[in-house]
Structure 1
């Protein structure tokens, strides 16, 4: 079993710079609640990084363009967290749920509860 985290952002350095600018200038309108939880403006959130390092779960992380390239037949709303078992996807956290989560600690708690 793997957990797949798909951000509502595209890959690439230029897109990353735009994301940083958006987080700095207008954080309340930033479109990726998952990124806002797991990353500070310039780096990965320390609590999240520690959770990932200590977790028993296999995790993969994708920008939406990377996910759509790897899994072109899977249609999603972003951001989202999926569970992948063999070839079966199950939604763990929807965009609506991720938007309601206000801290990385709550995100970790919800992930543990969902699995």
Structure 2
């Protein structure tokens, strides 16, 4: 059975918030509040090394905004989730792979990829 990785951004899905996020990330990247987005994306697109890793992985990748995730994955029943986060779903089990603290400690997309490889192998 194929494992699914959920990457949940610390952002909301509506168009206004998307524009604000792009503006914030471009104008003040050091204060941008989504470490996951900062690791995997440049100002306007996905980083090539991340895209190559994702496209060549044996896992399914699902990317969601926090409001979408909370509306879809209600079975978690975790009240104090701090975003961004990465979960792995295998069958009916959903396990936390990286919390926001771990994601903020990573310094590059390459470090994220290596850490993910260790967790999902």
TM-score range with shorter-chain normalisation?
Answer: over 0.9
Report what 2:101 is aligned to: 96
Q: For structure 1, list consecutive stretches of 5 or more residues without a partner in the other structure.
A: none
TM-score, structure 1 as length reference: 0.94
1:114 aligns with 2:119: yes
Q: Deviations over 1:17-67 (max 9, x none)?
A: 100111112111111000101111111111111111111111111100110
Give the Å deviation of 1:73: 4.1
Report what 1:23 is aligned to: 25
Aligned length: 115
What is the aligned-residue RMSD (CA, Å)? Answer: 1.1
SS of the equivalent of 2:50 reads helix
Task: Measure the CA separation in 2 of the matches of 1:15 and 1:72.
Answer: 23
Give the Å deviation of 1:11: 0.8
Task: Measure the CA separation in 2 of the matches of 1:114 and 1:73.
Answer: 23
SS of the equivalent of 1:19 reads helix
TM-score, structure 2 as length reference: 0.90
Q: For structure 2, list consecutive stretches of 5 or more residues without a partner in the other structure.
A: none
